[in-house]
Structure 1
Amino acid sequence: MMQLTRALLTLALVSALIRPAGAAEPGYVVHTTDGAFEDVMEGLKAAIHERGLYINEIMDMGGMLKRTGEDLELGAPAYTQAKSIQFCSALLSHEMTIEHPERIVNCPFIISIYAKAGEPGTTYVAHREIPAQEQASSPAMKKVAEMLRDLSEAAIAW
């Protein structure tokens, strides 16, 4: 019995540590493409505008991390390029905050596009994951998840 318990605990630990190649960290949805970084950025901006959404800001996360990494002597940056687009949907923001006012932390919506150092030819598009149970219990959050997915897919298809 003791050996079986030990074997099951070992299996559970190993299973928790192993993730398929390319799997996103829990809490994030990540898409990849062989499209050029700038093309994917243009695709995302176009997809946001086509849906009547407003871009608040485009943040140069790669530049900021490079500058601060150099200042702090942290070594080579993780990205060759990285930008995050903050955008808003007034309708979805109202719907989700009417359901639960604490959902204001989801505003603005953010999708990031990046290219990793050491991985030429691959561009990533990532956003926060809306858990399946939240989508099942909230019509507004289901719409948010669908919007983030659709925008990300449009960006990589550009």
Structure 2
Amino acid sequence: MRSFLSGAVLAVMTTITTAGLASADGTSTIYKYDGSFEDAAFSLESAIIDKGLNIDYVSHVGEMLSRTGQDVGSDVTLFDNAEIYIFCSAVLSRKMMEADPLNIAHCPYGIFVADREGEVMVGYRNYPEGPMQEVQSLLAEIVEEALSF
């Protein structure tokens, strides 16, 4: 779990600093959210649950970065708030791992919500071509639903 969370944080930070705020690049797809961080988080949580999925964990990345910045010698504020919602789909996970057991590396799935300098964004990491595109489609559906609340 620690490795996944570290990778997720790195993917979020790399995408935001190199690709802009609303884009699809090689690592992540990010959408601007027209509303508050709290509304985006609530909409995302609702969209995940509406798909019949359970949220296993919410990683409070923004709090962690704020809390540890001074400890690592940085005074840079990366996010005003940031969370990653971690969940899985038993149906899709089984299907993906039956296609290739090494797809275990992509589970669980995560969608982030972040507020950076007043711009709220929702996004997810991109998965490799092939069977994992079905999971990426699920993530896109969830985010689209969250954006429409």
Please give the range of the TM-score, normalised by the shorter of the 2 chains.
Answer: 0.7 to 0.9
Partner Cα separation in structure 2 for residue 19 and residue 67 of structure 1? 26
Query: So what's the TM-score if we normalise by structure 1?
Result: 0.76
For residues 6-49 of structure 1, give each alpha carbon's deviation from its aligned partner in whole angstroms, at most 9, with x where no partner exists: xxxxxxxxxxxx97884444211111122111111111111111
Shift in CA distance, 128/20, structure 1 to aligned 2, threshold 3 Å: closer
Aligned length: 132
Larger radius of gyration: 1
Question: Corresponding residue for 2:7?
Answer: none
| Larger displacement relative to structure 2 (28-37 or 87-96) | 28-37
2:136 aligned partner: 145
Q: Could you tell me how far apart the structure 2 residues matched to 1:81 and 1:49 are?
A: 22
Which residue is 1:127 aligned to? 124
Find the aligned partners of 1:39 and 1:19 in 2 and give their Cα distance: 24
1-structure distance, mates of 2:47, 2:21? 29
Aligned to 1:13: none
Which segments of 5 or more consecutive residues in structure 2 lack a partner in the other structure?
1-17
Task: State the identity %.
Answer: 32
Could you tell me which residue of structure 1 aligns to residue 79 of structure 2? 79
Aligned equivalents of 1:20 and 1:146: distance in 2? 22
* Structure 1 segment 1-158 matched on structure 2, within 5 A: 22-116=22-116, 119-120=117-118, 122-131=119-128, 134=129, 137-138=130-131, 141-158=132-149
Which SS does the other structure have where 2:80 is aligned? strand
Q: TM-score, normalised by structure 2?
A: 0.81
Q: Please list every run of 5 or more consecutive structure 1 residues that lacks an aligned counterpart in the other structure.
A: 1-17
C-alpha contact (below 8 Å) 1:97/1:104 kept by paired residues: yes
**Alpha-carbon shift at residue 80 of structure 1 (Å):** 0.2
